[in-house]
Every structure is written in C-alpha cells, then in structure tokens.
Amino acid sequence: ARNQIFIAVSIAALTIYDMCKAADNIIV
C-alpha cells in the first residue's frame, strides 16, 4: 500500500512539474 502512495505522489509531482514547464514555455 505504501508503494502505491509513493507512486501516486511521484506521478502527481511529475505532472505538476510538466505543467510548470509547459507554462514557462507559453510565457516565454
């Protein structure tokens, strides 16, 4: 169960990171 939580958090972090990169690309 703990592994699933860790994976979910990792995926969420990557998704937010990608969204931030996309936002930076749009702004720039």
Domain boundaries, the chain: 1-28
Which pLDDT score, from 0 to 100, does residue 23 have?
85
Task: Output 1-4 pairs: Cβ under 8 A, ≥24 positions apart.
Answer: none
pLDDT digits (tens, 9 = 90+) for 1-28: 789 999 999 999 999 999 999 888 776 6
Which pLDDT score, from 0 to 100, does residue 25 have?
79
